[in-house]
Amino acid sequence: MFLNWRRGVIASVLIGTLAGSLLTGCGTGNKASGSGSAGNGGKVTTIEYWHVNSENFGGQTVRDLVQKFNEQHPDIKVVEKFQPNMYLGLMQNLQAALAGGHPPAVAQIGYNYLDYATANLPHLPVEDAAKTDPEGQAFLNNYLPNILNLGRVNGKLEGVPYSISNPVLYYNADMFKAAGLDPQNPPKTWAEVRDMARIIKEKTGNYGLYVQEPSDNWAQQAMMESNGAQVLTRTGGKARATFDSPEAIEAYQLMADMVLKDKTALHATWEEGTQAFITGKVGMYVTTIARRNYIETSSKFKVLTAPFPTFGNKPRRVPAGGNALFIFAKDPDQQKAAWEFIKYLESPEALTTWTKGTGYLPPRQDVTDDPRYLKPFMEQNPLMKPAVAQLPDAVPWVSFPGNNGLQAEQVLLDARDAILGGRQPAAEVLKEAAAKVNKLIGN
Amino acid sequence: MKIAREPGPKFAAIKGYLVPWGCLAPALAFLALFTFWPLVSTLKLSFYQWNMVSPTPKWVGLTNYLEILRSREFWLAFWHTLEYTLILLALNLALPYITAYILSHLVFKGQNFYRALIFLPSVLSLAVAAVIFLWLYNPLAGPVNALLRLLGLPAPPWLSSYRWVIPALAVITAWKSFGYNFIVLLAGLVAVPLELIEAARLEKASNWQIFWRIVRPLTSGTALYVLVMTVIIGSQYVFVPIQMLTNGGPDQASTNLVFFIYQYTFNFFQTGKAAAAAVITLIIFGGLLFLQKRVLEKGVYYEN
Amino acid sequence: MKTKIPWWHFPLLLVVLGSLLPLIWMLATAWKTPEQVFNASLNPWPYPATAANFAYVMGAIPLGRYILNTFIIAFIVTAAKLLTSILAAYGFTQFSFRGRETLFYLCLLSIFVPFTVTMMPNYLFMSRMGWLNTYTGVALPQMADALGIFLLRQSIRSIPPSLVEAARLDRVGHGRILGRVLLPAIKPSLIALGILFFINTWNEYFWPLLMINDKSMYTLPLALQMFTNLEGGTNWGAMMAAATLASLPPVVAYLLAQRYVVDTFIHSGLKG
């Protein structure tokens, strides 16, 4: 290792002699992590849970769930920690924490980082954790096989699928009326989206459309693949970036034209875009169903949702968004506590709270269909319907293999800025980006 | 050693070393541990591939250097560093220099008023400055764009525009550092003998001539200090708004060398490449310092 | 000679305006309701003003604790930096030995090492020592400061050598020379430097960000980022209220001691 032990010795001596008096009583220990105790004589195992749920994105629901769990389990104390900048930010902080030797016990891993996390970060595959629990197999049997596959990498179940989402089209019904459009007839294809955006711009002066631009390319993948493209093509264990195909370019160029030529679509950060929609400055907004609760409660106009638009008659393909729960704890007691916590988060009661507080779809069909849990809610909440209806159109969210997955994701983010910011047309940017990604993932 | 008051030459010799080294030891130890040792560690790391987590780094020789030097991002970061530096030199050297000159030699009332208020932003955190400007620059509702629209001027999305993002971030840093540089330059300027200036006035020299011919040469030592600090510290200061507000975006349009190193370390976890970029950056900074020394030393008049 | 040229005040007033406007907008936005924030962003005088943002911030974060954290770290670092700088400056000025100049320039070189170059090894080192989320972790790497050594060395050199020589002839020990002769003579520089160290450490953002992820150990600048990054609509009023609260201690301290701070800066030779 590069950090010589001698530094440790020198530093200790230094502190002891020179700065010791200054520091006495000032440092507080690292309480939250690494305090899993071996002897369990009434001792409490403290574990950390890392999530991406900011205040506007289910943060309160996470706190409620954790509090309930802690009440039910006096021997375990879960500390929740919000990680900014979505799954990318969480991955980055997680890797730094692992390097420092203080990882959280449980973390939400976005489906787009499954490969990267599995290959690069030491963790306990949940398949192995389930084996240590007599009820483990029964627990996993609650899931439909295709859902459980969301948490598998190369056949092994690495994380338990927790949150499932897909992109839908939210629209401002009041603005539709003001523009002379029929709120009962939202656009079904991207050609209609473009027309309606133009009408909204002409009649109301507002932007017609905003497609979410967080630190991932989820919504853009949905556009490209719905036009018949493949972002990543896997053949015989090898993956190739293929987001420079004509179909992908066409989809991206459409978006670019709306931003740059028509000036009917907004190119802004996710934060600014959401703000623009809920303050009535944008008519249509493509984002995840997981934001349903926040958008619904903070908009002062009537919000409706429609399925993700298609390209003509081509089939809709929406990547399954969301995250799986991974175990990073190293200490056996913490691992056990982590597994307990995961089982709790995935229980029908907790999943019901989770769906109501966010908008995520539950990974367990039995919870959705059960009248004791989500059935009444799903029936009463029309905004959820498009998301449920397009579940069969779900495709995997692209996850770049190899050690450079984080950088590959950044290349795509840069490409998005380059296209929508008007640096170059989509064709050139995507060609260049695909070549770069292929190099990064080892082609 | 000058001081020897203990009996016995041998003991004195030892003691003679003990005191000075004892004085230097704490500072040297901290600098060695937390600046120079990491530097060596970084140099070593630049020949390896390592993601900070895997138990064994992999030796890759010069690959990191070659890949860095061949990448578009590195050269973007390089040119942007120059761009930031040029803007900061204008806003944090030239402007405070002239402001300090006006205050010290052309205006006689309100000295304390001006000094106090101009210095004020420099007691704030760069993090505070960054969030204030995040709101000022907000493309839809922020005050800057609200004003521009009121005046009928184009209102660009400052932080996501290729053309504006660097000036916009540089202004944040400049706003925060202006006051400190101003005070340092003022300290140099008030030391310029008034007689010289009065003599020049009698010869009907213009204010600009006085500044350029008399004041500037006499304060070039202070100016050199501010110059070096602006070049070296400026690119580090600018890092905070980059990291907080744009993350190098859009499309790496606001990245600089310091952010590039950060990105490869804590965003991509390619510590070898980050280390290689760090070594190259140090060489560039070293070269700049050397150049500055060579070019400027001739014209510098040291006040002391 | 007093040549009063009043119109030279205009450029100065412009500079003052540039320095103050962002602060005025920070203050104004902190007192606005969300409606006022968006619909009257240009108005620097919110009426009616609301204190809701401050109430929200105080409820959302343990402000007292953060002030304490920030203060403790700033205090430790300032004290340590002054101590190590004074000792080193004494060593570099009062003794002559082989390699003195080389060593001194080596120290100076550390100013030019960007912190991103050293942050990764230091981060790993601190975390292996178990010092993440501690004052030690934040403070320890910054306990020596080359700029401080440099400036104090300059100050000590500007003291008439006869003073020290006289003390030496009287066989006065090193501690006394330092404490009774040198330190009083460079007091203004020490104060200015101390203030500079304190403000800089108080305001530090990046290194604490790496060291601290436990919310109860946050410093004030770190607490700010809790109010950004809220995808879906930053609460700007609350963010500006938090920025105001984070700036209040250094600004108040500065305004109280303003004349003194600026004067010492100007007269202490705190320049290259």
pLDDT tens, residue by residue, A393-435: 989 899 998 889 889 999 999 999 999 999 999 999 999 999 9
Determine the Cα–Cα distance for residues B281 and B283; give it in Å rounded to an integer.
5
pLDDT, one tens digit per residue, over B224-265 is 888 888 888 888 899 999 998 998 989 999 999 999 999 999
B184 contacts in chain C (CB < 8 Å)? 265, 270-271
- Could you give the dihedral angle defined by the CA atoms of residues B299, B303, C2 and C6, in that order, rounded to the nearest 10 degrees? 60
Q: Is C30 on the interface with A (CB under 8 A)?
A: no
For residue C47, pLDDT beyond 90: no
pLDDT at C163: 83
The pLDDT score that the predictor gives to residue A180 is: 95
Dihedral sign for Cα A346, A349, A350, A356, please. Answer: positive
Query: In the block, which residue shows the tokens 């002699």?
Result: A17
**Pairing between β-strand A282-288 and β-strand A160-165 as defined by DSSP bridges:** unpaired
* Candidate from B38, B142, B257 with C-beta closest to C118: B38
Q: Residue A256 pLDDT more than 70?
A: yes
Give the list of residues 6+ apart from residue C227 with CB closer than 8 angstroms, or none: B131, C57, C234, C235, C238, C239, C242
pLDDT digits (tens, 9 = 90+) for C143-162: 999 989 988 998 888 888 88
Torsion sign over Cα C135, C137, C142, C144: positive
Q: List the single best residue of A6, A92, A165, A271 to mutate versus C (max C Cβ within 10 A).
A: A271
Query: Which of A9-18, A23-32, B92-101, C172-181 has the highest average model confidence (pLDDT)?
Result: B92-101
**Preferred mutation among C75, C77, C118, C231 to probe A, highest tally of A CBs within 10 A:** C231
Give the integer Cα–Cα distance in Å for A421 and A178.
30
Residue of B nearest to A404 (CA): B268
**How far apart (Å, rounded) are the C-alpha atoms in residues A80 and A66?**
7
| pLDDT of A343 over the 90 cut | yes
CA A42 to chain CA mean position, Å = 37
d(CA A253, CA C11): 48
The answer to whether the CB atoms of A417 and B253 lie below 8 A apart is yes
- Measured between beta carbons, the chain C residues lying within 8 angstroms of A97 are 213
Which residue type occupies C247?
S
Please tell me the distance from the alpha carbon of residue A95 to that of residue A91, in angstroms, as a whole number.
Answer: 6
Cross-strand partners of A109:
A324
Integer Cα distance of A340 and A342 in angstroms: 5
Q: Token pair of B224, please? A: 């050199």
Give C5's pLDDT tier (boundaries 50, 70, 90). Answer: low
- Alpha-carbon distance of A368 to A216, in angstroms, equals 28
The H or E element containing residue A163 is strand A160-165
Taking an 8 Å cut-off on Cβ atoms, the answer to whether B267 and A3 are in contact is: no
**Cα first-last separation, chain C:** 30
Encoded tokens for B15: 């003691």
Residue B205 has pLDDT above 70, yes or no: yes
Q: What is the pLDDT of residue B242?
A: 94
Q: Which of A343, A356, A362, A338 minimizes the C-alpha distance to A49?
A: A338
- Which CATH code fits B63-299? 1.10.3720.10
B295 vs B280, more confident:
B280
Contact B29 A272 (CB under 8 A): no
Using an 8 Å CB-CB cutoff, list chain B residues near C41. 138, 141-143, 146
The SS3 assignment for A285 reads strand
> Which residues of chain B have a CB within 8 Å of the CB of A97?
none
Strand spans (E) along A264-320: 265-266, 282-288, 303-306, 318-319
Least CB–CB distance from C233: residue in A85, A102, A271: A271
pTM of the model: 0.88
Structure tokens at C82: 């002054």
Mean pLDDT of A92-112: 92
Other Cβ atoms less than 10 A from the Cβ of A73: the count is 16
Going by C-alpha positions, the residue among C25, C12, C254 that lies closest to residue B122 is C254
Query: Which DSSP symbol is given to A398?
Result: P
Q: Is the pLDDT of residue A81 over 50?
A: yes
Distance of residue A411 Cα from the nearest chain C Cα, in angstroms: 22
The closest alpha carbon to A363, from A107, A144, A64, belongs to: A144
> Widest CA span of chain B, in angstroms?
86
pLDDT at residue A383, rounded to an integer = 92
Contact B251 A417 (CB under 8 A): yes
Contacts of A144 (CB under 8 A, 6+ apart): A365
Tell me the shortest Cα–Cα distance from C91 to chain B, in angstroms: 5
- ipTM of the shown complex: 0.89
Q: Which residue of chain A has the CA closest to C215?
A: A81
8 A C-beta contact, residue A190 and residue A306: no
Average pLDDT, chain C: 87
List CB contacts (< 8 A) between B282 and chain C.
112-114, 117
Q: Check if B249 contacts A (Cβ < 8 Å).
A: yes
For C38, the closest of A3, A31, A279 (CB atoms) is A279
Residue with tokens 């006040």: B303
Give yes or no for A31 touching C (CB within 8 A).
yes
Question: What distance in Å separates residue B291's CA from the closest CA in chain A?
Answer: 33
What was the pLDDT predicted at B287?
A: 85
With 80 as the cut, is the pLDDT of residue A25 above it?
Answer: no
d(CA B20, CA C90): 8
pLDDT at position A281 = 92
Cβ neighbours of A30 in C, within 8 Å: 130, 132-134, 214
Work out the minimum CA distance from C259 to partner chain A, whole angstroms: 30
pLDDT range class, residue B13, cuts 50, 70, 90: low
pLDDT at position B155 over 70 = yes
Among residues 86-125 of chain A, which lie with CB inside 8 Å of chain C?
Answer: 86, 93, 96-97, 99-102
* pLDDT for residue B159 is more than 60: yes
pLDDT of residue A235: 87
Contacts of C252 (CB under 8 A, 6+ apart): none
User: In this predicted structure, what is the pLDDT of residue C44?
Assistant: 86
Give me the pLDDT at residue A12, please: 45
Structural contact between residues B265 and B274, judged by C-beta atoms closer than 8 angstroms: yes
Positive or negative: CA dihedral B94, B99, B103, B106: positive
Q: Kindly indicate the confidence band of residue B297, based on its pLDDT and cuts at 50, 70 and 90.
A: low
Record: contact A417-B268, CB cut-off 8 A: no
Q: Which residues contact B192 (CB under 8 A, 6 or more apart)?
A: B104, B105, B214, B215, B218, B219
Q: Give the span between the Cα atoms of C111 and C87, in whole angstroms.
A: 18
Is the CATH number of domain A45-164+321-396 3.40.190.10? yes
Between chains, do A294 and C232 touch, taking CB under 8 Å as contact?
yes
The third-level CATH classification (topology) of the domain covering C23-268 is MetI-like fold (1.10.3720)
Nearest Cα residue in chain B from A117:
B53
- Show the tokens assigned to B234: 């400026």
Q: How much is the mean pLDDT over chain B?
A: 88
| CATH of A167-319+411-441 given 3.40.640.10, 3.40.50.1360, 1.10.10.60, 3.40.190.10 | 3.40.190.10
Q: Which residue, among C4, C13, C15, C158, would best test binding to B if mutated, counting the most B CBs under 10 Å from its CB?
A: C15
Residue B299 clears pLDDT 70, i.e. is over it: no
Residue B160: which of A11, A281, A421 has the nearest Cβ?
A421
| Predicted confidence (pLDDT) per residue in A357-375, tens digit | 888 988 988 898 899 999 9
Q: What is the mean pLDDT of residues C227-250?
A: 80
Q: Average pLDDT in the A138-146 region? A: 89
pLDDT, residue C270, reads 52
Which residues in chain C are closer than 8 Å to B2, comparing Cβ atoms? 95-96, 168
Query: Distance of CA B108 to CAs B118, B190, B197, C2, C10, Å?
Result: 16, 12, 15, 8, 13
Query: What is the DSSP code string of A309-338?
Result: PBSTTSPP-EE-EEEEEEE---SHHHHHHH
Of B41, B139, B267, the CB nearest to A406: B267
Give one DSSP letter per residue of chain B, joined into a string. Answer: -----SSSHHHHHHHHHHHHHHHHHHHHHHHIIIIIHHHHHHHHHTTEE--SSSSS-EE-TTHHHHHHHH-HHHHHHHHHHHHHHHHHHIIIIIHHHHHHHIIIII--S-HHHHHHHHHGGGGS-HHHHHHHHHHHT-TTT-HHHHHHHHTT-----GGG-TTTHHHHHHHHHHHHHHHHHHHHHHHHHHTS-HHHHHHHHHTT--HHHIIIIIIHHHTHHHHHHHHHHHHHHHHHHTHHHIIIIITT-STTTT--HHHHHHIIIIIS--HHHHHHHHHHHHHHHHHHHHHHHHHHHTT-----
**Phi (first) and psi of residue A425, to 5 degrees:** -65, 160
Chain B CA closest to residue C81: B27
Q: Does B268 reach chain A within 8 Å, measured CB to CB?
A: yes
Beta strands at A394-395 and A318-319: parallel, antiparallel or unpaired: parallel
Are B260 and B73 contacting, i.e. CB atoms less than 8 angstroms apart? yes
Q: Answer yes or no: are the C-beta atoms of A307 and A316 closer than 8 Å.
A: yes
CA distance A261 to A252: 13
| Equal CATH topology for A45-164+321-396 and A167-319+411-441 | yes
- For B7, residues 6+ apart whose C-beta sits below 8 A from its C-beta are none
Chain B interface disruption, residue of C113, C164, C251, most B CBs within 10 A = C113
Query: What is the per-residue pLDDT for A29?
Result: 37
Upper half-sphere CA count for residue C128 (Cβ side, 13 Å): 20
Neighbour count for residue C108 (Cβ, 10 Å): 14
Cα–Cα nearest to B84, from B177, B157, B154, B220: B177
A231, A407, B62 from B69: Cα distances, Å: 29, 17, 11
Neighbours of A, requiring at least 3 CB pairs below 8 Å, are: B, C
C122 contacts in B (CB within 8 Å)? Answer: 34, 38
Neighbours of B97 (CB within 10 A): 24
Could you give the percent of chain A with pLDDT greater than 70? 91
Query: What's the Cα-to-Cα distance from B136 to each of A238, B68, C23, C42, C236, rounded to whole Å?
Result: 48, 36, 11, 10, 11
CA distance B134 to chain A (A): 11
pLDDT above 70: percentage of residues in chain C? 93
Which pLDDT value is given to residue A271? Answer: 83
Rounded average pLDDT over A173-180: 96
- Tell me which chain B residue has its CA closest to the CA of residue A423: B162
**Would you say B45 and A6 are in contact if contact means Cβ atoms under 8 Å apart?**
no
- Mutation target to probe the B interface, by most B beta carbons within 10 A, among A414, A416, A430 is A414
Residue with the larger pLDDT of the pair B15 and A142? A142
Task: Report the DSSP beta bridge partners of residue A238.
Answer: A235
Per-residue pLDDT reduced to its tens digit, B190-200: 888 888 888 99
Q: How far is CA B193 from the centre of its chain?
A: 30
Q: Give the tens place of pLDDT for each residue, A294-306.
A: 899 889 999 999 9
B144-148 mean pLDDT? 94
Q: Which residue on chain B is closest to C11 by alpha carbon?
A: B99
Query: Domain coordinates of chain B in residue numbers?
Result: 63-299
Q: Please give the structure tokens belonging to residue A296.
A: 């619904």
Closest residue to A54, CB basis, from C133, C136, C229: C229
Q: What is the mean pLDDT of residues A105-131?
A: 94
Provide the pairing of β-strand A207-211 with A282-288: parallel
Q: Where are the domains of chain A?
A: 45-164+321-396, 167-319+411-441
Query: C155-187 b/e with 16+ CB inside 10 Å = b?
Result: bbeeeeeeebeebbeeebebeebbeebbeebbe
